[in-house]
Amino acid sequence: MKTPVRLLIAQFAIVAAGAMAVASASAEEIVVVAPNAPPPVRVEAVPAPRDGYVWEKGHWRWEHGRYVWEKGHWEVVRVGGHWVPGHWAPRGPNWVWVPGHWA
């Protein structure tokens, strides 16, 4: 049985689009968008300061259509930079996660 040319073209387009998505995802930052505001931040015990590290507070992350709490963690200090904590920012009707980073 012969496969119609249109079906072959459609299958190729799907495979090519998937390959491009993988290539672009590795070259660009992943953008996380949630349709509603995150719940209130949980209160966490902040550990005593550690030389050479900065504490990234816990936050809500969007996973499989719902918010999931991620505990705080240590980030290694980068000399000459300051830590900008991750946070959720409103974008129109949605919310976008801005990852913590060194500036």
Instruction: Give the 3-state secondary structure of the chain.
Output: CCCCHHHHHHHHHHHHHHHHHHHHHHHCCCCCEECCCCCCCCCCCCCCCCCCEEEECCEEEEECCEEEEECCEEEECCCCCCEECCEEEEECCEEEEECCEEC
> pLDDT category, 40, cuts 50, 70, 90?
very high
pTM across the whole model: 0.64
Lowest mean pLDDT segment, chosen from 1-5, 17-21, 57-61, 68-72: 17-21
**Better-predicted residue by pLDDT, 87 or 4:** 87
* DSSP β-bridge partners for residue 90: 95
| Token output for 65 | 């259509």
